[in-house]
Amino acid sequence: MKSYIENINKAFESRIRLGIMSILMVNDWVDFATVKEMLDITDGNLASHITALEKLEYVEVRKQFVGKKPNTTYAATSAGKKSFVDHLNALESIIKKTT
């Protein structure tokens, strides 16, 4: 039982972080506005959660200019993808255990 809990990743405990990772798992590079629209949250809220994931090196950030507008896009790193999958598997095991 203990091994399952070990894989529950604290970094993904918030719904917003789970949301960010879900989107980045299935897309290559996604811009700030798209993530924001998908999750329906404020700029500040999203920025702080993304920064947290970036610090853990789960998310990679790329800043570019489209014309004169700055455009920031995000992608999940391979470490981020792996941790996220482990986290999901752990959640699934817990569900199966309790049935």
78-97 vs 15-26: helix crossing angle, rounded to 10: 120
- The site string for other proteins over 80-99 (x = CB under 8 A, - otherwise) reads --------x--xx-xx--xx
Return the residue of 23, 41, 52, 56 that touches other proteins, per CB under 8 A: 23
75 touches other proteins (CB under 8 A):
no
Q: Can you tell me the distance from the alpha carbon of 35 to that of 63, in angstroms, rounded to the nearest whole number? A: 15
The CA distances from residue 80 to 3, 22, 28, 95, in Å, are 20, 11, 13, 23
Footprint of other proteins on this chain (CB under 8 A)?
15, 18-19, 22-23, 25-27, 30-31, 34, 37-40, 88, 91-92, 94-95, 98-99
